[in-house]
Structure 1
Amino acid sequence: MIALVPLAVADPQAVEALLDRAFGPERRTRTAYQVRGGTLPVPDLSFAALDADGTLLGTIQCWPVALACDDGAVVPLVMVGPVAVAPERQQGGIGRALMERMLDAVPDCPAEGCESLMLVGDPEYYGRFFDFTAERTAGWRLPGPFEPRRLLARGDRVPDCPGMLGPRLEPGRARA
């Protein structure tokens, strides 16, 4: 039996070790880390999957980011990911369960931007199962390399403006 619990319940060192196992230690050089740099996960949308014995099997983290539109508007968004699953447990539905749990939490999330989600991922998977699309992200820029077809968003308030995506640092929530 797998329990989906708030990420805060999980040991932070175990989370980092799981992320290294799932994505490799070079994961920190990816553009997604620059987009969300200096922020802390949105607690209401970040979860861990634990086995019956408490072993960490997977995590989903969501981050406060913003799109600085070229017209001067700044739109708060939440960046979804990484969704990490222990390599030996991948293809077993844990990642999908974590995504579904996070999406179920969106309506009750009090943080700014929760109704506008974005991620960098496989459009065939995230589009098919979770309704993420690249329809409104064509003009978005990121602070590093990315494949535009993999820049996806979901939500009625997702902006359709050209602009730069970056971290949304909130007072009292930024990392030191």
Structure 2
Amino acid sequence: MITIVRLDSIAAADVEALLDRAFEPGRHRRTAYIVRGAAHAIPTLSFAALDDGMLVGSIQCWPVALVADDGVAQPLVMVGPVAVDPTHQMHGIGRLLMTAALDAAAAHRLDDAMMLIGDPEYYGRFFGFSAERTADWMLPGPVERHRLLARGPGVPAVAGTLGPRIAVAA
């Protein structure tokens, strides 16, 4: 049976090992890592999936900001990575983790402006993310434009650069 717990209750080394299993080598060079910079994940929005006590999945959410071309910074929550151990993929664990993170964001009133880099068919269909308002966003690395997704009434549809934000209350 899968149990969802806060990620900060799991040893950081175990989370890193899961991320290594779930993603290709060199994951630290991906654009999403550059966007979030040295920020710390938001503890109340980051979760782990346990299967009989064994870590099989995780989701982290990060404080980021879109700095518009006019210099105004719009805070956003970056969702991901969603990591599921390869031996447990296709069992709905990622969906459970996304639901936990989005429910927590709503409970903490942090769901006004959320973004992620991911599969538009999956994240759009199940979670309401789209690329509608992200066309003019610049990132500090390569991205497939159709995979730059956002949701929430506070998502700005302006030109700007996405990058790390120092802190978020929650």
Which residue of structure 2 lines up, in the alignment, with residue 155 of structure 1? 152
Q: Deviations over 1:103-159 (max 9, x none)?
A: 11112226xx54211000000110011000000000000000001100000101000
Question: What stretches of structure 1 of length at least 5 have no aligned partner?
Answer: 172-176
Which residue of structure 2 lines up, in the alignment, with residue 78 of structure 1? 77
TM-score under structure 1 normalisation? 0.92
Q: Write out aligned runs for 1:1-176 (5 A).
A: 1-52=1-52, 54-109=53-108, 114-170=111-167
Kept in 1, the 8 Å contact 2:5–2:49? The answer is yes
CA RMSD, 1 decimal: 1.4
Runs of 4+ in 1 over 4 A off after TM superposition: none
The aligned amino acid for 1:8 is D
* Secondary structure, counterpart of 2:17 in structure 1: helix
Alignment length (residue pairs): 169
Q: Distance in 1 between matches of 2:165 and 2:141?
A: 17
Question: What stretches of structure 2 of length at least 5 have no aligned partner?
Answer: none
The aligned amino acid for 2:24 is G
Percent identity at matched positions? 61
TM-score under structure 2 normalisation? 0.96
Cα displacement (A) at 1:95: 0.3
